[in-house]
Amino acid sequence: MNAPLKLGLKQRYSLLTSGLDWTPSYQPFEKIYPYAEFEGIKIHDWSKWEDPFRLTMDAYWKFQAEKERKLYAVLDSFAQNNGQMNLSDVRYVNALKLFLTGVSPLEYQAHRGFAHVGRHVPGVGPRIAAQMQSLDELRHVQTQVHTLSHYNKFFDGFSEFRHMHDRVWYLSVPKSFFDDARTAGPFEYFIAIGFAFEYVLTNLLFVPFMSGAAYNGDLATVTFGFSAQSDESRHMTLGIEVIKFLLEQDPGNLPIVQKWVDKWFWRGHRVLGLVAMMMDYMLPKKIMSWREAWEIYFTEAGGSLFEDLARYGLKVPKYADVATAEADHLSHQNWATFYQYCHAAGFHTWLPSAEEMDWLSEKYPTTFDKYYRPRFEMWAEMEKEGKRFYNNALPQLCSVCQIPMVYTEHGDHGATSFRVSDYKGEKYHTCSDGCKDIFDGEPEKYSQAWLPVHQIFQGNCGGAGLEDVLKWYKLNLGADNLQQAGSPDQKLWDEWMAAKDKVAG
Amino acid sequence: MSVVALDKQYADKVEIRDRLENFHGNQVVYVHWEDHLMFCAALAFPLPPGMPFGALVKEILPTYYGMHPDFAKIDWSKVRWMIDGIETSPRLEASLQDNGVGHKSIIRFWTPGLDGYKHSRS
Amino acid sequence: MPRIVSITLQNTDDARPIIAAITADNPGARINAMPGIVKIDRDDSLTVRRASVEDRLGRVWDPQEIHLSIVSMAGNLDEDDDYFNLSWS
Ligand SMILES: [Fe+2]
Ligand SMILES: [Fe+2]
Ligand SMILES: [Zn+2]
C-alpha cells in the first residue's frame, strides 16, 4: 500500500513538467527554437501535450538500471558457458552480422536524432520524452555492441561493423534511411522515426526476430532484444502521442502529416526487407514467415491503429496495399540478391535446403513455387556443376531506397518494376511508385544521393576492382564474404560439433 | 513547388553527385535482360558514349549474362530492344550516343521464345 | 470489425503473475505463446490491475514495474497508480 502523503502518479508527473519551461525575456523565440516553424506545422498550445507513460526521472533511472543488471547477468553467463555453441546452427550467426552492421548503428542514429529533437521542439512534455528516448537508444547500441562482441571472438564479419555501416553498398540502405530522417525537421523526424518506424514497423523487426533468436538458442541476443524492446513500448507511445497531438493542434497539419506518414511508411517497409530475409532464410529454425509477421503486426495491429486515427482524417499510408502484396515476394527477392552478390557482402549465404523450400512453398503458396523455387533449383544445379553463380556486374540502384532495383511489378511479378523521374535534365531511377513519389516530392534532396554503385564508378571507393573495394570496406576477402560452405566460420563450427560428439561418445 | 528547408537558399546549394562529368569520360548505362530474373536487377556499367552499340552486344552481354543456359540460344536478329522506354532497332555500328543512349539511360531487351529456366522467368 | 488491443510480455518469472492477472481479469483475452514471449490480444480494451497482480505475487507491485517485462503493445495507453489500461477510443 502507498504510504500516506505520497503523491499519485498523475500528480508526480505533472510536477515533473510544470514550471520547467519559461517565457524567454531577452532572446526571441525563433532564435531559441530555430527549427520550430519551417516545416509548416502549427502548434497553438504545448500544454495540451499528454505523456501517457508519466515516467518521472527517478523512476526512469531505477527501471533502466534494473534492466541493465538483468541483461548483463545473462550476457556474463552466456559468455562463461560458451553459449555460442548451443546455437541451432552456425548459419544463424549471419543474421547477427547483418544486425550489427545494419541495425545497431541505427540505434545510435536514433540516439542522435532524439537528442536533437529533444533540444529543438518547443514543448516541455515531448522534450522530456525525447530526452529519455535518446538515452534509451544509446543504451540499445551499447548493449548490442557488448552482446555481439562475444561472437566477434569466434566468427568473421563483426569486427568492422561501424566502418562497414558507412561504406558497404547494402548498408547504405539503412544508413541513408536514417540520414534522411535526421536531415528533416524535428516534426518530420518525430513522425518518421517515432510514429512510422517505432509504432507501425518496429515490432516486425524486434518481436518475431528476437523470438526467433530465442528459438535458435541465442540467449544473449534475445535478452538484449527484449531489454531494448521494453523501452520500445515507451517509444511507440511517444510516436502515437506525437501524431495525435499534431493532428489535434491545427487542421492545417493534416496534409503535412499525411505526406510524412505515406513517405516514411514506404521508406520503412523497404528497409525492413532485410528483416524479411532474415526471418525466412537466415533463421535455421523458423518461427513464423515474414508474411505471417506482416499479417499480425501490420495488417491487424496497423489496421486497428489507422481506424483509430481516422477520426482526425488521417488515412492508411498510401501503398500499404502494395506493401502487403509484396510480403509474398520480399524475402525471396532479397535473399536471391544477396546470394548472387555475397562476394561483396559481410556475411555468408546459402541455398535453402529441400525441407526449407517445402516450408517456403507452404508459407507462400501463391508465389514460391511459381517464381522462386525454380531460381534456387537452377542455382543448385549450377553449384553441382561447380559453377556457383556470382553476379559480376554491379546492379542498378533505386535513387531513394538505394536497394538494387530487384522489385517486380505489382500484378506481374516476372517483370522488374522500373520508374524514372526527370529533374533538371537528369534521369533518376526508382524501384516503385512509392519511391518515385518520394523522389518527386523532394527532388532537391534525393538528387544528392550517394549511391554506392555510382561512387565505385567514380573511383571514390578504393579502386575499380572488387578487391580494391572490399579493402576499402575493410571486408576480409575469403573470410567475411562468399558461401557459408567452406567458410572459416563453418570450419570452426564443424570442429566444435565433432568435439561435442566425441565427448558424448 | 519549392523545397521545405530551413535554409532559403537550399535549392541553389544542391550538389548532384551523379553528374556526367564525375565519371571520367564514361556515362552510366543500365542493361536489363527481361524474363531472366536470375540476374536480380538491371546491370550498371560505366561506358564511353562513343562505344559502338555492337561492342555492348558482343563483348559486355556475353561476359555478364553468358552463364545463363538461355544465353547461347538467343537469336539476335529477333531481339526486341527498348531504350529509355522507347522501342528501337539499334544500329550496331553506331555509337551508344548515336543510338540515343545517354547518361543513366536504361537498355532493356527481350529474347523471344526464351523466358528463363523452365519458363519461370528466372 | 473489432479493434484489437494487444500487449506482449516476456515469458519470465517476473511476468507470469502479470500474464495470469490479465487472463483472469479480461474475459475473452486471447493468449498466444511464442518462444520467449506471450502476446495477449483482446477486442477494444485490456487492463492490468495492480491489486490482481499483487494477489498473485504476494507483494506490493507498482504498475510501472511492467516496464521491466513489456515487449510491445498496441492501443492508447492510460496508466495510473492502480492500473495500466490499453484501449481504442
Ligand atoms: Fe532502439
Ligand atoms: Fe526505439
Ligand atoms: Zn526504392
| C18-50 confidence digits (pLDDT tens) | 999 999 999 999 999 999 999 999 999 999 999
- Residue B74 within a domain: yes
Structural domains in chain C, sorted by start: 4-87 (3.90.56.10)
Mean pLDDT to the nearest integer, C6-11:
95
What's residue A4's pLDDT? Answer: 53
Q: Which residues of B touch A41 (CB under 8 A)?
A: none
Establish, for the pair of chains A and C, how many residue pairs have beta carbons separated by less than 8 Å. Answer: 100
Reply yes or no on whether the pLDDT at A162 is more than 90: yes
- Distance between CA atoms of A24 and A8, rounded to whole angstroms? 31
Reply yes or no on whether the pLDDT at A469 is more than 50: yes
Residues A373-400 have pLDDT tens digits of 999 999 999 999 999 999 999 999 999 9
Mean pLDDT of chain B: 96
Reply yes or no on whether the pLDDT at A130 is more than 80: yes
Q: Which residues 26-65 of chain C have a CB within 8 Å of chain A?
A: 34-37, 39, 60, 64-65
Reply yes or no on whether the pLDDT at C3 is more than 80: yes
- Distance between CA atoms of A282 and A266, rounded to whole angstroms? 24
Pairing status of strand B27-33 against strand C70-74: unpaired
Reply yes or no on whether the pLDDT at A495 is more than 70: yes
What's residue A11's pLDDT? Answer: 81
Instruction: Report the first-to-last Cα separation within chain B, whole angstroms.
Output: 42
Reply yes or no on whether the pLDDT at B46 is more than 70: yes
What's residue A1's pLDDT? Answer: 47
What CATH number does the domain containing B121 carry? 3.10.20.560
Reply yes or no on whether the pLDDT at A461 is more than 60: yes
CATH of A39-46+53-504, one of 3.40.50.2000, 3.40.50.2300, 1.10.620.20, 3.10.310.30: 1.10.620.20
- Residue B23 within a domain: no
What's residue A3's pLDDT? Answer: 52
Whole-model pTM?
Answer: 0.95
**Contact predicate A273/A266, CB 8 Å:** no
Residues A209-261 have pLDDT tens digits of 899 999 999 999 999 999 998 898 889 888 999 999 999 999 999 999 999 99
Which ligand neighbours the alpha carbon of A195 most closely?
2
Q: Can you say whether the dihedral through the CA atoms of A84, A209, A237, A266 is positive or negative?
A: positive
> Angle, to 10 degrees, between the axis of helix A219-249 and the axis of helix A202-215?
170
What's residue B43's pLDDT? Answer: 98
Residue A122's beta-bridge partner residues?
none
Nearest residue of C to residue A64, measured between CA atoms: C68
- Distance between CA atoms of C58 and C12, rounded to whole angstroms? 17
- Cβ–Cβ below 8 Å for A393 and B44: yes
Mean pLDDT of chain A: 94
- Distance between CA atoms of B36 and B110, rounded to whole angstroms? 9
C-alpha closest to that of C69 among C10, C22, C16, C23? C10
Q: Which long-range contacts (CB under 8 A, 24 or more apart) does B86-92 make?
A: B90/B53, B91/B53, B92/B52, B92/B53, B92/B54, B92/B57
Q: Say which residues have a Cβ less than 8 Å from residue C59's Cβ, sequence separation at least 6.
A: none
Domain carrying residue B101 = 53-122
Mean pLDDT to the nearest integer, A268-289:
96
CA A331 to ligand 3 centroid distance, Å? 15
Looking at chain B, how many residues does it have? 122
Binning pLDDT at 50, 70 and 90, where does residue A45 land? very high
What amino acid is encoded at A433 in this protein?
A: D
Total number of domains constituting chain B: 1
CB-based burial, A126-156: b 16+ in 10 Å, e otherwise: bbbbbbbbbbbbbbbbbbbbebbebbbebbb
Pairing status of strand C76-79 against strand C83-87: antiparallel
Pairing status of strand B105-110 against strand B80-83: antiparallel
Reply yes or no on whether the pLDDT at B1 is more than 90: no
What's residue A481's pLDDT? Answer: 97
